[in-house]
A and B are shown apart, each in its own frame.
Chain A
Amino acid sequence: MADKAMDRIAKATPPGITKRVRGLSDRTIAWIFVAPSIFLLLAVNIFPLIWTIRLSFTNFRVNRINADVKWVGLRNYERILNDPDIWQTMQATAHFLIWTIFFQVLIGFTLAYLINKKFRGNDMWTTIIVLPMMLSPAVVGNFWTFLYQPQIGLFNYVVSFFSGVDPASFSMIGSVNLAPWAIVIVDTWMWTPFVMLICLAGLRSIPGSIYEAAECDRASKWRQFWTITIPMVLPFLMMAVLFRGIENFKMFDLVVQLTGGGPGSATEVTSINLKREAFEKWRTGYASAYAVILFVTIFGLASIYVKALNKVKER
């Protein structure tokens, strides 16, 4: 049937076209298809990367187009690596990254484990749980600033209800000690459903026969969990950690909406700091060096992680 259809199409194709197409080698046709993508990749990714690396060795400022651009060698890199403020933003980023991933994996996996059980209203609960991740980060940031408001915010009242402290006595986004946790809570609220969905996919991919075999061998539920569930869900979990890690390393919108990087620089993550250097202070050369350092860091960490992920998959 399919052959007949192909024959019909071949007959219907004008001879001129067939000739022209026949005149091209497979390799040429492949290049024709791939060339636009390669061109775009070079124009949008590779060229800017090379240009950024070049700028990182200069004192170029984009707001002084007419000024002389001097070659400063490694000075920008040296200043960045010796700047205690930059290290503080790195620490703020690490705090945000580690704790959000920890809570999202813990809560996401627990929710997935519970949702995976058959119970009435299962679909409805799944839908409700994934709602936060469908919202815009700007909207989420904005309404959480109201929830965190000391005088009228629901969050402070809930804490006050359970702990008895005066709700106006603490400010989640105005306190140096609490603000880093305030952004962790919001990101966890928003993105735990994403981790849950990935874990759920992992849990549902485990064949029931493996558990049945374990039951026959009289393995306890605890043992089944540690020797079947966790190892088989692990590649999915690691994938979720990779996605969330990359996303949170470049976190910008949510934190800007919530705290703007403050108070002080308690929540100034690297992306906010980089934006300030590049587009507020206009230190283009310096910001380029900063971007290169971050790129190398993310690329290096991601490469190591992907290797580990592949090893886990092979097991």
Chain B
Amino acid sequence: MKTSNLMMATAMATISAFAATGASAESMTLCWAAWDPANALVELSKDFESKTGVNMEFEFVPWPNFADRMLNELNSGGKLCDLMIGDSQWIGGAAENGQYLKLNDFFDANGISMDDFLPATVTGYAEWPKGTPNYWALPAYADVVGWTYRKDWFSRPELQKEFKGKYGYDLGIPADLSQLKDIAEFFQGRDIDGKTVYGAAIYTERGSEGITMGVTNALYNYGFEYGNPENPYAELDGYVNSDGAVAGLEYYKSLYDCCTPPGSSDWYMSEDIDAYKSGQVALQMNFAFIWPGVNADPNVGGDHTGYFANPPGPAGHYAQLGGQGISVVANTEHKDAALEYIKWFAQPEIQARWTEMGGASALRAVVEDPAFPDAQPYNKAFLESMAIVKDFWAEPSYASLLLAMQDRVHKYVVAGQGTAKEALDGLVKDWTEVFQDEGKI
């Protein structure tokens, strides 16, 4: 009797264990870069988990390896990621190669309208082909290159006086790129509080996308264009290497040569942050995602720092777009749950909370709220910057196009090889070859 009871109890326990396993929560994985906003998203996603019972797992890869790791995952048809917050430039390749789900029908069925998001982010993060209403992502994180400056140094009367005497105008937020260089030059090698400081920390990194994300802020504003807008693939000559573009590239090199800290030949986001936070530089070029961290920094945060959008140049006023959209990976085995996550994430209250927690919503209801510009000291600069964005190619062959530009520009700016004209002529040649290989021309 005792034995049969024991057997019964064991059987019941086994059945309940299996039943529990069968009823356990569905689990899916979101892939993104390893950075502060990703941690905020983990916190935010707890709301989704509690509402749906779906268990969220996260795969975050440090920025330098992010593209390599995630593009390998997409290209190999891996099943690691159900949701992907991928770089804006991946959208063409992911769409054409069937790696992301097209979201138009889903958006229509759930009342999600792209008109509710900042137009630049819709074009940059969601559309392929560009300018057509074909959506492969929901704008998830709005980002743009801008500048931080040492407001406390700028407000010192002795420096203001010296600057005015030397350049003939007040030391403050630069009105254009030429003034930005004057300011950087003014601070280069200067002794401040017994420490030698330098002008500006700018992007010079060679291995991934750094110098391209930096130099475009000068190129766009001097007249560079990604080919003839009417016929972008076949007519690169005269646009990519126009006189304005050459002047823009020469400007960036002169800024690098005159006004950056020694040894800054391979700097990107983290190196620029380190240089700024350690009090080495007066100006810092960086994506806006770092601004909340700078504002909270005990040494350079608060009143020590000011923020401004990339200044205009002789041919226009633009800034390099950053940021990402969130997509459903076509290979997912949790399609319904992944779409449910996007539906949840698109809600205005979640988007508002996303921004509060350290994210950067692209929802107009959030960023166009009258209270938004004054909510944080950097919000005005962010809005100003988001209104002037331009992005790099988002073609399926973006990686080849990017590497060619990295190579040509880095060789000229940092290594001092050849002239700006030769670098851009070379770029035209490389890009033409890529488009020929692609069969686009």
Contact = CB atoms under 8 A, between A and B. Distances in A.
A262 interface: yes
Interface in B380-400: 396, 399-400
A263 B93 contact: no
Contact of A149 (B72, B263, B414): B263
Given A64-B396, A176-B416, A280-B68, A260 B75 contact: no
A168 B262 CA distance: 6
Interface stretch (B101-109, B317-325, B347-355, B403-411): B403-411
B403 A281 contact: yes
Interface string B202-227: 00011100000000000000000000
Contacts of B400: 281-283
A265 B411 contact: yes
Contacts, number: 89
A56 interface: no
A59 interface: yes
B371 interface: no
A13 interface: no
Interface string B415-426: 111000000000
A196 B73 CA distance: 44
B266 A66 contact: no
Given A64-B396, A176-B416, A262 B206 contact: yes
Contacts of A63: 71, 75, 93, 97, 396, 399
A175 B417 CA distance: 12
In terms of DSSP, what is the predominant structure of the interface of chain B? loop
Nearest to B400: A281
B437 interface: yes
Contacts of B262: 150-151, 168-171, 174
Nearest to A66: B97
Contacts of B261: 151
A141 interface: no
B265 A171 contact: yes
A264 interface: yes
B263 A282 contact: no
B119 interface: no
A17 B416 CA distance: 76
A30 to B, nearest CB: 39
A30 B206 CA distance: 54
A78 B77 CA distance: 32
B264 interface: yes
B206 A282 contact: no
A151 B263 contact: yes
Given A151-B261, A263-B410, A173 B266 contact: yes
A259 interface: yes
Interface in B252-270: 261-266
A29 interface: no
Interface string B299-340: 000000000000000000000000000000000000000000
B12 to A, nearest CB: 45
Nearest to A63: B75
B410 A65 contact: no
Interface string A139-152: 00000000011110
B207 A282 contact: no
A279 interface: yes
B68 A262 contact: no
A173 B410 CA distance: 14
Interface string A251-264: 00000100111111
A62 B400 CA distance: 13
Interface in B77-92: 77
A171 B262 CA distance: 7
A262 B399 contact: no
Contact of A176 (B264, B396, B415): B415
A81 B286 CA distance: 39
A171 B411 CA distance: 16
Contacts of A260: 205-207, 266
A190 interface: no
A173 B265 contact: yes
B377 interface: no
A261 B415 contact: no
B93 to A, nearest CB: 7
Nearest to A266: B415
A236 B273 CA distance: 50
Contact of B415 (A59, A66, A264): A264
B172 interface: no
Contact of B414 (A168, A170, A174): A174
12 contacts: A65-B77, A148-B263, A168-B262, A171-B262, A171-B265, A173-B266, A261-B207, A263-B266, A263-B410, A264-B416, A264-B417, A279-B72
The 3 closest A-B CB pairs, nearest first, are A264-B415, A174-B265, A150-B262
Interface of A: 59, 62-66, 85, 148-151, 168-171, 173-176, 256, 259-266, 276, 279-283
Given A262-B415, A279-B68, A281-B403, 18 more contacts: A65-B75, A65-B77, A66-B98, A148-B263, A149-B263, A168-B262, A171-B262, A174-B265, A176-B417, A260-B206, A261-B206, A262-B207, A262-B414, A263-B206, A263-B414, A264-B415, A265-B411, A281-B400
